């Protein structure tokens, strides 16, 4: 029976019907059934981008242990999913959006994310949306298309310049490039090839720790994690860690799953749990030793910090695999992604974005 179902799902009109049914059941109907929020509730949840603390996310400030974003909860005023494939207007019939990263601006939040349309070539580009309050998002446009599959647009700011390190080439990607915003948010130019690898480069995060730049990237071939380091951010061919891969045989926590939280007293890294299947949950690990010849980490007791709700329906009922936290006025504003349950019926192409908070 399962073989027959799989054969049926490959028929184009059947797959399209299943996907449409999934959107209706998991996104549209739950939204219609929710009570309207009054303006006061929205105002209480709104987050002014001018008060964000990027220093915390880039590892330039002291991280308070009590303030770690390890127990995020959905923001009701965001009416999750806050952003879906249907919100994209310039890349055809989009299958899903995923891998969201934010940047605060003077008067608005900027959101960058993967936009995937399997009928296009390339099938994924980087999209951009904005929000005045971190709750309601308006799509802008696709801002990066290199002719290859793009995802995981890790964006950050350093010394007044905005940078992006996307995953390029999907499972075939072997290079990690640093892009600089020359006309933010829509103009990006390559500035350095940080790594030219002989292994997979699944989702890269970059951070500064004790006056040195560090890069962590998943190696899907070995269910492992590799580390690279450099004195300078804008530099080709970062130095590989002596013990690469620093983690092997750990599919539950080797592929980065969002922005690390870095402070003078430690580093917390989020990983995707891919042990049973891709992107099952988000796990948090504390790096306990980090140097050119040392690496050690251990899982936080709060982990997993995000996972599917387990409900029969809902935008994040099945899986969650990404968390991007920003420290704002004593709490964390986070964007995450989620997928629906029953993917064998609805197809697995329903990744969407939602807003979370953590105290």
Q: How far is CA 188 from the centre of its chain?
A: 19
In this prediction, residue 322 has a pLDDT band, given cuts at 50, 70 and 90, of: very high
* Most confidently modeled range among 41-55, 165-179, 295-309: 295-309
Tell me the sheet residues that pair with 295: 290
Q: Which residues pair with 125 in a beta bridge?
A: 115
Element (H, E) at 353: strand 352-358
Give Cα separations from 162 to 187, 206, 215, 275 (angstroms). 11, 13, 17, 34
User: DSSP secondary-structure letter at 179?
Assistant: E
Residue 140 vs residues 90, 131, 225, 355: alpha-carbon distances, Å: 9, 10, 34, 18
Please list, in sequence order, all residues whose beta carbon lies within 8 angstroms of the beta carbon of residue 11, skipping any fewer than 6 positions away: none
Q: Determine the Cα angle at 125 with ends 122 and 131, to 5°.
A: 160
Q: Who wins on pLDDT, 228 or 27? A: 228
Give the tens place of pLDDT for each residue, 18-57. Answer: 888 888 888 888 888 777 777 777 777 888 887 776 555 5
Residue 80: what pLDDT? 96
Name the percent of the chain lying above pLDDT 70: 91
Total length of the chain: 359
Residue indicated by tokens 């995953």: 167
Q: Tokens 């994924």 sit at which residue?
A: 124
Give the range with max mean pLDDT: 58-62, 109-113, 338-342: 109-113
Task: Write out the two tokens for 192.
Answer: 């350095």
Q: What is the mean pLDDT of the chain?
A: 91
Statement: residue 61 has pLDDT above 70:
no
Give the tokens for residue 27: 């996104």
Mean pLDDT over 312-326 rounds to: 96
Distance in angstroms (rounded) separating the CA atoms of residues 352 and 65 = 30
User: 99-136: per-residue pLDDT in tens?
Assistant: 999 999 989 999 999 999 999 999 999 999 999 999 99
Strands (E) across 148-186 are located at 150-158, 161-168, 175-183
Domains and CATH numbers, the chain: 2-358 (2.115.10.20)
Q: Is the pLDDT of residue 65 over 80?
A: no
Q: Would you say residue 4 has pLDDT above 90? A: no
3-state secondary structure (DSSP) of residue 298: strand
Please give the average per-residue pLDDT across 210-217, as a whole number: 96
- Distance, in Å, from the CA atom of 351 to the CA atom of 316, rounded to the nearest integer, reads 8
Tally of CB atoms within 10 A around 277: 12
Q: 352 pLDDT band (50/70/90 cuts)? A: very high
| pLDDT at residue 195 in the model | 98
The model's confidence at residue 349, banded by pLDDT at 50, 70 and 90, is: confident
Cα gap 61→44, rounded to integer Å: 27
Q: How many CB atoms lie within 10 A of CB 233?
A: 19
To the question of pTM greater than 0.85 for the whole model, the response is yes
Q: Residue 1 — pLDDT band, cuts 50, 70, 90?
A: very low
Q: Give the tens place of pLDDT for each residue, 258-270.
A: 999 987 788 999 9
């Amino acid at each position: 029976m399962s073989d027959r179902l799989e054969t049926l799902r490959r028929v184009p009109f059947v797959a399209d019907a299943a996907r449409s049914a999934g959107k209706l059941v998991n996104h549209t109907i739950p939204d219609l059934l929710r009570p309207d929020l009054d303006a006061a509730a929205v105002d209480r949840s709104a987050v002014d981008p001018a008060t964000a603390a990027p220093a915390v996310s880039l590892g330039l400030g002291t991280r308070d242990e009590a303030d770690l974003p390890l127990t995020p909860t959905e923001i009701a005023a965001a009416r999750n999913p806050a952003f879906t494939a249907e919100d994209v207007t310039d890349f055809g019939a989009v299958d899903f959006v995923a891998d969201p990263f934010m940047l605060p601006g003077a008067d608005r939040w900027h959101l960058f994310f993967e936009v995937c349309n399997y009928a296009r070539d390339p099938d994924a580009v980087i999209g951009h949306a904005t929000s005045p309050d971190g709750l309601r998002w308006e799509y802008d446009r696709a801002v990066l298309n290199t002719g290859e599959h793009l995802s995981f647009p890790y964006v950050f700011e350093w010394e007044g310049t905005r940078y992006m390190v996307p995953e390029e080439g999907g499972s075939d990607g072997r290079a990690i490039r640093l892009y600089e915003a020359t006309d933010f948010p829509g103009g990006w130019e390559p500035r350095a090839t940080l790594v030219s690898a002989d292994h997979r480069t699944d989702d890269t995060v970059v951070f500064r720790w004790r006056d040195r730049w560090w890069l962590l990237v998943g190696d899907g071939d070995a269910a492992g994690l590799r580390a690279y380091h450099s004195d300078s951010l804008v530099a080709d061919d970062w130095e590989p860690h002596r013990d690469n891969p620093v983690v092997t045989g750990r599919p539950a926590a080797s592929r980065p799953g969002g922005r690390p939280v870095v402070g003078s007293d430690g580093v917390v890294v989020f990983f995707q749990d891919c042990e049973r299947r891709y992107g099952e949950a988000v796990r948090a690990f504390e790096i306990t030793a980090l140097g050119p010849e040392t690496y050690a980490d251990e899982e936080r007791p709060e982990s997993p910090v995000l996972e599917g709700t387990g409900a029969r329906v809902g935008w994040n009922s099945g899986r969650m695999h990404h968390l991007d936290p920003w420290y704002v006025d004593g709490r964390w504003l986070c964007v995450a992604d989620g997928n629906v349950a029953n993917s064998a019926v609805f197809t697995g192409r329903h990744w969407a974005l939602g807003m979370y908070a953590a105290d």
